[in-house]
Amino acid sequence: MSDDHLEILLSREKISERVGELATAISNDYTGKTPLLLCVLKGAVFFLADLIRELRISVYVDFISASSYQGDRSKGTVDILPLFTSDIRDKDVLIVEDIIDTGLTCAALTDFLTMHEPASLKLCALLNKPSKRRTKAVQLDYVSFTIPDRFVVGYGLDYDGKYRGLPDICTLVP
């Protein structure tokens, strides 16, 4: 039995409604283009799966892995594993992230992907937690929800690998 205390912060209905709105905005902005949605493993997988099914444009999908967290703390360094097989050069790349916290992961991903010379590079995040930002170099083009400085799990987000499968986004007090 776990002693973790969970409380719903964003319900599955609220998430679904907002993901639909985001998909409409992305479809409008990329009309006539076929962007490459680069999903950051592992947390953004659920978000990506729901988002692409709401889009009205065709997209390519590929994956990249980035990790900076141990438990509920940022290590301060980012490990990137480029799992994608797509050619990034000259593509309209949209990074799909679960949550932007310190911003270090995004900054590292942006630097890394810029070296591959995409036609454009934008960032879409399910959650934005701006209170702990440690870099100014984050431009969030699409965001579903801005949340307070709480550790959250569910809908792909984990605590030490647990709770990704919760359908709602919950605050966690270990």
Active site residues: 101
Tell me: does residue 157 bind ligand IMP (CB under 6 A).
yes
- Rounded Cα distance between 18 and 101, Å, is 20
Binding test (CB under 6 A) with ligand IMP, winner from 84, 95, 103, 128: 103
Residue 49 corresponds to which tokens in the numbers above? 């799966």
CB 164 within 8 A of CB 154: yes
Tell me: does residue 101 bind ligand IMP (CB under 6 A).
yes
171's CB contacts (< 8 A; 6+ apart) are 6, 7, 9, 150, 151, 152
Binding test (CB under 6 A) with ligand IMP, winner from 43, 47, 113, 124: 43
- Rounded Cα distance between 154 and 132, Å, is 20
The residue among 31 and 77 lying less far from ligand IMP, judged by its C-beta, is 77
- Rounded Cα distance between 54 and 113, Å, is 26
The residue among 30 and 172 lying less far from ligand IMP, judged by its C-beta, is 172
Residue 20 corresponds to which tokens in the numbers above? 């639909």
The residue among 23 and 104 lying less far from ligand IMP, judged by its C-beta, is 104
CB of 59 to ligand IMP, least distance (A): 21
Count of alpha carbons within 13 angstroms of residue 24, beta-carbon side: 6
For the four alpha carbons of 101, 107, 110 and 112, in that order, the dihedral sign comes to negative
The residue among 32 and 71 lying less far from ligand IMP, judged by its C-beta, is 71
2-31: contacts with ligand IMP (CB under 6 A): none
> Which residues make beta-bridge pairs with 54?
none
Binding test (CB under 6 A) with ligand IMP, winner from 29, 54, 65, 74: 74
Tell me: does residue 86 bind ligand IMP (CB under 6 A).
no
Binding test (CB under 6 A) with ligand IMP, winner from 46, 84, 142, 151: 151
Peptide linkage before 75 cis (omega within 30 of 0): no
Tell me: does residue 105 bind ligand IMP (CB under 6 A).
yes
Q: Which residues bind ligand IMP (CB under 6 A)?
A: 43, 68-69, 74, 97-105, 129, 151-153, 157
